[in-house]
Chains A and B, each alone.
Chain A
Amino acid sequence: MTKQNRKKTKYASIPNLRKKAIVNFGLFFVFFAFYIFSATLCTPLLRDYAMIPVFGMPICLLSSLLVFPLSGILIAIWFKKGG
């Protein structure tokens, strides 16, 4: 790679890094927030709310199981955004 090309690549990559960071960390934050929320809902701390029934099961269990489809949706978005 010539010096000029290296310089071009370097500067071209900086906005790419910023964009990638926003997409990757943004999607990970959505997952992490839901993950921690669901995990916290399954602790003794929120026992009273956790047992509210939704679709025939306690909300804490439903919310925990939703981690699986949510991850699928986020991965699909991520690949669409160029991951």
Chain B
Amino acid sequence: MEDNFLIIGFILFFVVASLFITWWTSRTNKSAADFYVAGKGVPWIQVGIAMVGSYLSAASFLGCAGDIGVFGIDSIWISIGFFGGYMSLLFLIAGPLRNVGSFTVAGALHRRYPDNKIKFAITVCTIVVSTFYLVPQMIGAGALFTMLLGWDFLWVTIGIGTLVSTYIIFGGMKSTLYNQVLQALFLWATMIAIIILSYFTIGDGFLDALNTAARAVPPLLSGKNPAVVEALSSMTNADSMQAIEVTRQLMPDAPSVMTLGVKTGSSLAMISMVIALIFGTAGLPHILVMFFTVPNARAAKKSVAFCISALALFYLAAIILGFLLFPAIYPKLVSWISQGPTGVGMAKNMAVLEIGMLVGGKWLVAIAAAGAVAAVLSTSAGLMITVASAFSNDIYKVYVNPNATDKQGIRVARITTIVMSVTAVTFATILRDENVAWLVTLGFGIAASAIFPAMLGTLWWRRATRQGIITSVWVGLSVSMFFIVLLLTDVKSFIGLPTGGGPGIFGVGAAFLTLWLVSINTKDTGKNADEFLTLAHAPDTD
């Protein structure tokens, strides 16, 4: 009970701090630019930190290490893939997008091709991608509170939805950014604290943990073996090394944690996933809109570079922590997995908290739990304001009320935030048993297929035509959604292509091919392609 008070105390600290930030920032919001892009004058370092907060979801904080704890070495590429995506964003998108963008991603493309169909297509993609990303945040928060405190899933998601909506409705982008900074600093510091304490407390370092892992049977397999579950039932985390040896004796021929192919036997599926992650990040609308909050392209690049450095340390820590789980909490991992599919979810989401308890006691668990909530809040806020802004600027002001004032636009953005919140809570309740990290990965697959090729073509290719861009967006969206439907309906392959890795390679391939084929057969390269590209790639100024 005392532990619960600590956890609730830390979470309450976040709620109060967030509301204070919202109140404080709301006083300075005077224009539409303030509401949508925080006045376009936010320092790059602040945006860099906020970007870390927006990107690091609960899936990253709890899921990356937890997934290694369940499947073993197969899961390291979730962390590396999440990280690698920022390289495409930095090299190919950040600077030019900042130079040509205003409030939304669609607005940047529309500047070169003044066709409302482009705004419509990109806005639809923005809503679909953001929903795929937002729903898992709600599921993660609901599952975490249910497991940790026994709270009701529905009420937790309603609470999170209400809190995040409050940030946006009253404080807009400025409030979102400040909250993301606070939450990112807390989340990042928590991860670093856990890894440092774990590293110096458990075993003899990383290589020793790898040697242990080479003996350990993946918990996903050992947790389903009744003899192992029985043998380990009386063991505690302190007996982890003994538990690993006992399991190996009972399952001498089983693969080890270091064996490739435990999670997926299909190499193409795995490549598809890493393709989705590297190109998907550069197509995530809630990350792209953050470039419009800095003063210039140079600042946008610096903010991404800063974000990459912080993410590198974070994801490296997550990988090391994943391998340290075996010498630290092996019996617990097996015990969770033995409970069936729900237990697998618990192992993935609770392993980081369990190791936190082992090396730092109840204080660290409370901080880590609050860190997970911080991750959910900051990511959800970024997603919701992106959709609100896209709907208001690219649908309402284009199709519903072209003469709308800024005030009316902001009102629509606020209403959209509430609608988005209700939608996310509804879907989270329906999909509560789905794998959180997996749903997020699917969001990356759609972003990589539908948005990234169009962005790249618009920002770099003079021959890219309006028709090519529009067609590639719809083809990318259709192919990726088609693969996701196959995947969710348990269809393992389609015309020989595995669906297991998500839509990545297929959607991206189809969209690029479409962009090229249609562009070389059409002529409308935009209002003034040279002028647009000149502006996009103008020399940097500080």
Binding site for B on A (CB under 8 A): 6, 9-10, 13-14, 16-17, 20-21, 24-25, 27-28, 31-32, 35-36, 38-40, 42-47, 50-51, 56-58, 60-61, 64-65, 67-68, 71-72, 74-75, 78-79, 82-83
Contacts and interface: CB of A to CB of B under 8 A. Distances in A.
Nearest to A48: B260
Nearest to A68: B312
B538 A13 contact: yes
A9 B77 CA distance: 44
Interface stretch (B9-17, B228-236, B529-537): B529-537
Interface residues of B, number: 45
B534 A9 contact: yes
Contacts of B533: 13, 17
Q: Is chain A's interface secondary structure helix, strand, loop, or mixed overall?
A: helix
Interface stretch (B79-87, B357-365, B385-393): B79-87
Interface stretch (B38-46, B179-187, B216-224, B267-275): B267-275
Interface stretch (B56-64, B89-97, B337-345): B89-97
B258 A44 contact: no
A43 B312 contact: no
Contacts of A39: 77, 80-81, 270-271, 274
B73 interface: yes
Interface stretch (B124-132, B238-246, B301-309, B427-435): B301-309
A17 B537 contact: yes
13 contacts: A9-B534, A28-B92, A31-B91, A35-B274, A40-B271, A42-B73, A44-B260, A47-B261, A50-B260, A64-B80, A71-B83, A75-B90, A78-B90
Contact of A43 (B88, B267, B305, B534): B267
Nearest to B210: A57
B301 A83 contact: yes
A36 B77 contact: no
Given A64-B77, A68-B316, A71-B312, A58 B91 contact: no
Contacts of A65: 316, 319
B319 A44 contact: no
B460 interface: yes
B87 A31 contact: yes
Nearest to A16: B537
Contacts of B92: 24-25, 28
Interface of B: 73-74, 76-77, 80-81, 83-84, 87-88, 90-92, 95, 207, 210, 258-261, 264-267, 270-271, 274, 278, 301, 305, 308-309, 312, 315-316, 319, 460, 530-531, 533-534, 537-540
Contacts of A31: 84, 87, 91
B537 A20 contact: yes
A10 B534 contact: yes
Given A28-B92, A47-B260, A57-B207, A42 B316 contact: no
Given A24-B92, A39-B271, A43-B270, A68 B73 contact: no
A20 B460 CA distance: 10
B531 A10 contact: yes
A14 B258 contact: no
**4 pairs of A and B residues whose beta carbons are closest in the complex:** A43-B267, A44-B261, A45-B267, A13-B534
A13 B537 contact: yes
B274 A56 contact: no
Contact of B91 (A50, A72, A78): A78
A42 B76 contact: yes
A64 B76 contact: yes
A28 B270 contact: no
Nearest to B534: A13
Nearest to A78: B91
A14 B84 contact: no
Nearest to B309: A72
Given A25-B92, A61-B73, A35 B278 contact: yes
Contact of A71 (B73, B87, B267, B540): B87
Given A42-B73, A58-B258, 16 more contacts: A17-B533, A25-B92, A28-B87, A28-B92, A31-B84, A43-B261, A43-B271, A44-B267, A47-B261, A60-B260, A61-B76, A65-B319, A68-B312, A71-B83, A71-B312, A79-B301
Contacts of B87: 28, 31-32, 35, 71, 74
A83 B308 CA distance: 15
B333 to A, nearest CB: 20
A16 to B, nearest CB: 6
A42 B81 CA distance: 12
A17 B274 CA distance: 29
Contacts of B80: 35, 38-39, 64, 67-68
Nearest to A12: B534
Contacts of B83: 67-68, 71
A21 B90 CA distance: 13
A32 B267 contact: no
Nearest to A56: B207
Contacts of B95: 83
Contacts of A36: 271, 274
Nearest to A18: B537
Contacts of A9: 534
Given A13-B534, A44-B265, A51 B258 contact: yes
Contacts of B264: 44
Contacts of B305: 75, 79
A31 B460 CA distance: 19
A10 to B, nearest CB: 5
A27 B258 contact: no
Given A13-B537, A44-B267, A47-B261, A35 B84 contact: yes
